[in-house]
Structure 1
Amino acid sequence: MTTTRLRDYQPSDMDAVLRLWDEVRQEGMEPVYALAEVLASCEKDHAVIASRGDEVVGAAVARAAHDQGWIVFLAVTTSARGAGIAGDMLAALEQRMAPMGLTRLSILVPDEQQQVGALMRAGFHDRAHLSYFEREIPVKRRELSILRDLGGRILPRDLWESIAGMQAEKKLLERRLVLPLAEAELAEEFGVEPPRSIVLFGPPGTGKTTFAKAVASRLQWPFVEVFPSRIAHGPGGLAAGLRETFGAIAELDHVIVFIDEVEEIAAQRGGEPPSAMQGVTNELLKLIPTFRDRPGRLLICATNFIRSLDDAFLRHGRFDYVIPIGLPDAEARRAIWSRYIPEASRERVDVATLVERSDGFSPADIEFAARSAAQAALENSVYGGTSSTTVGPTLDDYLAAISRTRTTVSADVAREFHADIDMLARY
C-alpha cells in the first residue's frame, strides 16, 4: 500500500481541492463554507494536503478567529477513507495553529457528514447536538515557551490504542491513573484522590517508557521527560538542575513528568563518606511532595532495578502506586507479533508458532526479531539469487530471527521480578 504523506497546501493543489469539493457535493452533503471561502483560506490561512504518490486523497483547511480555530473544509476521497487520514490532517492543522495562542479548534458539519466518526476519534466533542464539534488545544500560549525549553511535547492521540497486547497492564493503568485524572470531578464525588506520582518497575524492554507516553497521549497532557545527564551540566550541578526543572514544570497547568532509570538519582543512601549523589537523592525527595501539592500533574518514575531505590523513596505519601510492568503473556505476544507481520505475509505465517517460540521475550525482543526477519527476507529477495516470487518474510524467516535473538530478560531476572512484585508492588 502506498504511504500517505501530509504536507502544506501548494497553489498547484487547487484542482485537487476542487475535485474533493465536488465529490463531497455529489455525495449529497453541501459544505458549510462556500467554495470561495475555502480557496481563500487555502491561500491565506492554513491548509494540509494528504497525498498518496501523486494523488491528493484529502484536504483540511482552517482559519483563526481570535482565540479559536475553525475548520472550514475537511474531506477525504472515498477510496482513502477508514485509514485515519482525517484525524492525521486535523492533528497536523492543530500543530500549525497552536503557536498562535488558540484555545480550541472547532468545526461545523452537515448532519450527513461522514467524517463525524473521525472527529470523535480525534478528540472533538459534539456540542448541544447541533453538529458543532470542538476540541480544546491542550497547551496554552503562555506555556509554549516553557514546554519548548523543557523539551516537552504533546504526543499523538493514538499511542494508547497502538499498544499491542499487554491488556492487563493497560486495564490497570486506565483504571488507576487515567480515570481519576480525566474525570477529576467524578472522582471527587466518590472521594477518590487522583494520583500524583507513581513508579513503574520491571525488567528492561518491557514497555515502561511506552506506557508512560501512552498515558500522556490518553490524557492529552504535555509530556516532559527529565534527563538527569542533561541537567547535570548546569552551574549548580544535578541537584540545582532538578530544582530549576521542577520549578519550570510548576508553571504548566497539566503535565506528565517522566524520569527513566530513576535509580541513577534515587539509589540507596549510606556509606562514609557520603557520595555526591546522596545530595541529589535528598533534593528529589524534597521536590516530590511539592510537585504533589498541585492538581493536573503526574510524575511517572521508571526503574529496571527497584531494589536499588532508596527505602525512603517508595514510602506511602510519595508515590500512590508502585506498578509492575512485566513480560508479555501469550495473548500479548500474539498481538505484538501481529503488529509487525506485514500484510503480504499474514496468510503464510503461523502466529501461534511464533507466540510459543518467543516465550520469555520482551516487547522489544519481539520487535527486534520481527524487524530482523523482515530485513533478512528483503536481503535474500534482492541478493539471494532465487527466482521465488514470494514477497515478505516467511515463517522460517521469523523462526530463524527468534533463534538469533538474545533475550533481554534472563530466567533469573524474571524470578527476581516476581519476587519484587510480592515485596514492593502497590496497586
Structure 2
Amino acid sequence: MSTVRLRDYQPSDMDAILRLWDEVRHEGVEPVYALAEVLASCEKDHAVVALHDEHVVGVAVARAAHDQGWIVFLAVTAAARGAGIAGSLLAALEQRMAPQGLTRLSILVPDAQQQHGALTKAGFQDRAHLSYFEREIPVKQRELTALRELGGRILPRDLWGSIAGMQAEKELLERRLVLPLADPALAEQFGVEPPRSIVLFGPPGTGKTTFAKAVASRLQWPFVEVFPSRLAHGPQGLAGGLRETFATIAELDHVIVFIDEVEEIAAQRGGEPPSAMQGVTNELLKIIPAFRDAPGRLLICATNFIRALDDAFLRHGRFDYVIPIGLPDAAARAAIWSRYIPDSVEGEVDLAQLVASSDGYSPADIEFAARSASQAALEQSVFGAPGAGIRGPSTDDYLTAIARTRATVSPEVASEFREDIAALART
C-alpha cells in the first residue's frame, strides 16, 4: 500500500469509525468494548486514525486507568491489512500516552479477531489464554522530568526494519550491541559483558546517526542526543555543561546517549599553551568511565574524522567497539533505491542501472538523487508539454538526477576510510 498518514481523531471521522466497527462485526467478531464506550474515548481520551488517500483505513482508541493504558478499539480495513498499519497506530498511541506516566499498554482481543500477529510484532506479549496482551512503556513517570530536561525521547519501534540494505552493519550491531543489552542475563550466562560505549566512524552521510537511533528503537530505550555546541553557550561552559548533562542522564534507568561529530570535543591534545578545548577533552575522558559503571546505558559517539580523535579517547576500557560505517554496497544501494521508487513505476524503472550508476554514493546521496528525480517528473507532468499526461519518474529521470548529484565521499576520503578501518577499527 502506498503512503499511509497518521493523525489524531477528529469529530468528522465518526462515520468512518462506525464503518470500521460494522466491518469488524460483519466478520463475526464482537468487540470487547461497547460502541458507546469507543466513541466516548474517541472524544475524551486518545484516538489515532490512519489515512490512505484521505480515507480512514484504521483506528486505535485507548484510555488511561491509573498507570495502565487500555486499548478499547483497534481495527484496520480488510483491504489495508498486512501493511503494518496496526503496529504504526499502536506506536502512535503509546507516544501520546507515555507522558501521562503509564507503565504498560494493554489490550483484550476476542479470540475470533485475527490481530495476534500484529500485536506480537508491535512488542505486546500474550499473558494468558484469554488473549490478554500488554506492552511495557519504557519510561517510568519519575524519569519523565529528566528526559524532558535532556530533550530525549522514545523513538518509534520500527526504525531498525526501516534501514534499507546495510545488512552487514545491521547484523554486526545486532550481535555486538542489541543481543547482550536486550538480554543481560543471557549475556552473563556466557560471560559476556554488555557494551557501555562505542564509536561509529565513517565518511559523511553514511548513516551513523540513523544507526544510533535504530539501536535505541530496537531496544526501546530513551534516546538522548548531546549537542556540545549548545552546551558551550550555557552559563557553566562546555565542560560544566557536559558534567551537568551526564549527571541528569544518570537518573534514567536505561538510555542511549549519542554525541555526533565527537572530534569537536575530543580532538588530539597538545601544543603550548594548552587550548581551552583540552580541558573539555579531559572532562569527557573523566565522564566516560563513570558512565560505564552503571548498567542499562550505552554511549554512542560518531565521527567523520576518527584520525583526529585524541589517542587516549579511543583506548581499550573507554570504548568497547570502534565500528566502521561505510558506503553501501550494491545490494544495499538496491534496497535504498527501492525505498524511494514509487509503487506506480516500480516495475518500469531499471533498478540495476541505478545501482551501477550510483556506485560510491552514500545513502544520503541516493536519497537526494531519488527525490530530485521525483520532483523533476512531477514538474514535467504538471508544467510540461500539453497532453503529455501524468507519469511517475522514469529510469532516465533517475539517471539524470544521479549525474547531477555530487557524491559526498571523494575517492580520497574513501581511501582514507579504508586505512582507518585497518588501523583503528575494533569489532
Q: Same fold (TM over 0.5)?
A: yes
**After superposition, what is the alpha-carbon deviation per residue over 1:283-313, rounded to whole angstroms, capped at 9, x for unaligned?**
0000000000001100000001100000000
* Aligned residue number for residue 113 of structure 2: 113
CA deviation digits over 1:230-252, x for unaligned, max 9? 01111121000000110110101
Matching of residues 9-408 of structure 1 within 5 Å: 9-53=9-53, 55-385=55-385, 387-389=387-389, 391-408=391-408
Deviates more, 1:13-22 or 1:417-426: 13-22
Distance change >3 Å, CA 12–CA 378, structure 1 → 2: closer
Counterparts of 1:51 and 1:378, CA distance in 2: 22
User: Aligned in 2, Cα 1:362/1:2: closer, same or farther, shift over 3 Å?
Assistant: closer
Per-residue CA distance 1:102-126 (angstroms, 9 max, x = gap): 1000001012222222211211111
Cα distance, 1:54 vs. partner?
Answer: 5.2
2-structure distance, mates of 1:347, 1:157: 30
Change in Cα spacing, 1:242 to 1:415, as seen in structure 2 (3 Å) is: same
Unaligned 5+ segments in structure 2 are none
Per-residue deviation, 1:50: 2.6
- Partners in 2 of 1:26 and 1:273 — Cα distance? 80
Q: 1:386 Cα deviation (Å)?
A: 5.3
How far 1:382 sits from its partner (Å)? Answer: 2.2
CA deviation map 1:86-110 (0-9, x unaligned): 1222122212221221100000101
Q: Bigger shift: 406-415 or 341-350? A: 341-350
- Greater mean deviation of Cα atoms: 347-356 or 260-269: 347-356
Residue identity matched to 2:19: R
Provide Cα deviations, 1:175-210, integer angstroms capped at 9, x if missing partner. Answer: 000000001111111111000000000111111011
Q: What is the letter of the counterpart of residue 121 of structure 1?
A: K
C-alpha distance in structure 2 between counterparts of 1:44 and 1:263, whole Å: 49
Change (3 A) 1:425 1:358: same
Residues 365 and 43 of structure 1, relative CA distance in 2, 3 Å threshold:
closer
Quote the Cα distance in structure 1 between the aligned partners of 2:377 and 2:386: 12
Give 1:53 deviation, angstroms.
4.8
1-structure distance, mates of 2:169, 2:259: 19
How far has the Cα of 1:73 moved from its partner? 1.1
Greater mean alpha carbon deviation, residues 165-174 or residues 397-406: 397-406
Deviation at 1:48, TM superposition (A): 2.1
Q: How many residues align?
A: 427
Q: Distance in 2 between matches of 1:341 and 1:52?
A: 18
Shift of 1:79: 1.9
Letter paired with 1:291:
F
Mapped contact 2:382–2:390 kept (Cα < 8 A) = no
Q: Distance in 2 between matches of 1:129 and 1:161?
A: 30
The 1-side partners of 2:371 and 2:8 are apart by 32
1:328-370 CA-to-partner distances (Å, cap 9, x unmatched) read: 1111111111111111222221111111111111111111111
1:55 offset after TM fit, Å? Answer: 3.1
In structure 2, C-alpha distance between the alignment counterparts of 1:80 and 1:260, rounded to whole Å: 39
Name the % identity.
82
Choose 383-392 or 239-248, whichever is displaced more: 383-392
C-alpha separation in 2, matches of 1:403 and 1:16: 46
* TM-score of the aligned structures, taking structure 2 as reference length: 0.96
Q: Cα distance, 1:83 vs. partner?
A: 2.4
How far does residue 144 in structure 1 lie from its aligned partner after superposition? 1.4
Q: 2: distance between equivalents of 1:200 and 1:277? A: 22
Amino acid at match of 1:362: S
Which residue type is aligned with residue 101 of structure 1?
G
Q: How large is the RMSD of aligned CA atoms in angstroms?
A: 1.5
| Letter of the 2:25 counterpart | R
- SS in structure 1 opposite 2:40? helix
| Counterpart-to-counterpart distance in 1, 2:174 and 2:105 | 26
Offset, 1:390: 5.5
Whole-Å separation in 2 of the counterparts to 1:205 and 1:24: 45
1:323 aligned partner, one-letter code: I
**Whole-angstrom CA distance in 2 between matches of 1:386 and 1:260:** 49
